[in-house]
Amino acid sequence: MRPWFILSIFLIVAFTSSAADWGRTGHRATGEIAQEYLTKKAKRAIEALLDGKSLALVSTYADEIKSDAAYKEYAPWHYVNFPFNSSYDTHPKSEKGDLYMAILKCVEILKDAKTTKDQKAFHLKLLVHFIGDLHQPLHVGIADDRGGNQFQVRWFGEGTNLHSVWDEKIIDSYEMSYSELAENTKHLSKVEIKQIRSGTVMDWMNESRKLCIQIYDTTTVGEDLGYGYMYQYTTVVRQQLQKGGIRLSVLLNDIFG
């Protein structure tokens, strides 16, 4: 193959690939934080399943398979939508599945003694990613604007949408690596960690939904967002990454502990 041909394929893939949810940095930070909180036993079991790969490394796998038609059934598993005046329980469920159902399914397959190593490894990679998604408030969104994908705003003057701002624009503006973002968790007190670890997947989802409502209440269509917005939501973004990482370790320690 000619070098220019390979280069053009690379450029097409690089510039047309779909948005990557929390963004690679956010998902990797979640994986890295979880890794820190694993029990020895869980760490060993996970290392064996992932052939030595880290949770940070596999955290973006679920986005990487999105462009492969063979995996299209998993696309609706990245988010959950229900109207603002309803709740997950009362709103009819999507037949294709949703983020909440996906997390329970992954946990079930990982706990099942009858599933194969390949099935377990696949669903572990998905679980690492989906716990990240669960903590991106707009992934617990509304169908009307596809979780903010159709909510047009500006980011430092450039046209984008609210979903993208929350997936990656805020995080990327910090210009921090995923390990630098993960470092933040070390400053949490024992009481704070205990508080974060408590609750169920349903409680964690509802916490994201509350934030989602707050975000819609404080953002206007067409608004030019920048430093003010970053400042307003820095703590929320940091906390969501910390919570995602710590809670992922809670599930994994329960599954493998």
Identify the residue among 81, 164, 185, 239 touching ligand ADE (CB under 6 A): 81
Contacts of 67 (CB under 8 A, 6+ apart): 17, 18
Count other Cβ atoms within 10 Å, centred on residue 200. Answer: 8
Give the interface segment with ligand ADE, choosing from 63-71, 134-142, 175-183, 236-244 (CB under 6 A): 134-142
**With respect to ligand ADE, which residue has the nearer C-beta, 34 or 138?**
138
User: What is the Cα–Cα distance from 50 to 23, expressed in whole angstroms?
Assistant: 22
User: Using the rule CB under 5 A, is 168 a contact of Zn ion?
Assistant: no
**With respect to Zn ion, which residue has the nearer C-beta, 45 or 88?**
88
3-state secondary structure of 199: coil
Q: Which does 167 bind (CB under 5 to 8 A by kind): ligand ADE, Zn ion, none?
A: Zn ion
Site string for Zn ion, 85-124 (x = CB under 5 A): ----------------------------------------
3-state secondary structure of 140: strand
User: Using the rule CB under 6 A, is 79 a contact of ligand ADE?
Assistant: yes
Amino acid, single-letter form, for residue 162: L
Q: 152 pairs with which residues across the strands?
A: 161
Give the interface segment with Zn ion, choosing from 19-27, 47-55, 94-102, 171-179 (CB under 5 A): 19-27
Supply the minimum distance, in Å, between the C-beta of residue 149 and ligand ADE.
Answer: 6
Q: Which does 58 bind (CB under 5 to 8 A by kind): Zn ion, ligand ADE, none?
A: none
User: Using the rule CB under 6 A, is 129 a contact of ligand ADE?
Assistant: no
Q: Are 111 and 123 in contact (CB under 8 A)?
A: no
Q: 154 pairs with which residues across the strands?
A: 159, 224
Sheet of 152-155: strand order equals: 158-161, 152-155, 224-225
Q: Which does 141 bind (CB under 5 to 8 A by kind): Zn ion, ligand ADE, none?
A: ligand ADE
Q: Which does 122 bind (CB under 5 to 8 A by kind): Zn ion, ligand ADE, none?
A: none
Structure tokens given for 170: 């805020």
Give the interface segment with ligand ADE, choosing from 78-86, 111-119, 120-128, 174-182 (CB under 6 A): 78-86
Query: Residue number with the shortest CB distance to ligand ADE?
Result: 147
Detail the DSSP E strand segments found in 24-146: 80-81, 140-141
CA 257 to chain centre: 23
Q: Are 193 and 249 in contact (CB under 8 A)?
A: no
Q: Are 49 and 55 in contact (CB under 8 A)?
A: no
CA 5 to chain centre: 34
Sign of the torsion angle spanned by Cα atoms 233, 235, 241, 243: negative
Supply the minimum distance, in Å, between the C-beta of residue 158 and ligand ADE.
Answer: 21
User: Using the rule CB under 6 A, is 139 a contact of ligand ADE?
Assistant: yes
Residues interacting with Zn ion, by CB under 5 A?
21, 78, 133, 167
Residues interacting with ligand ADE, by CB under 6 A?
78-79, 81, 138-139, 141, 146-147, 149
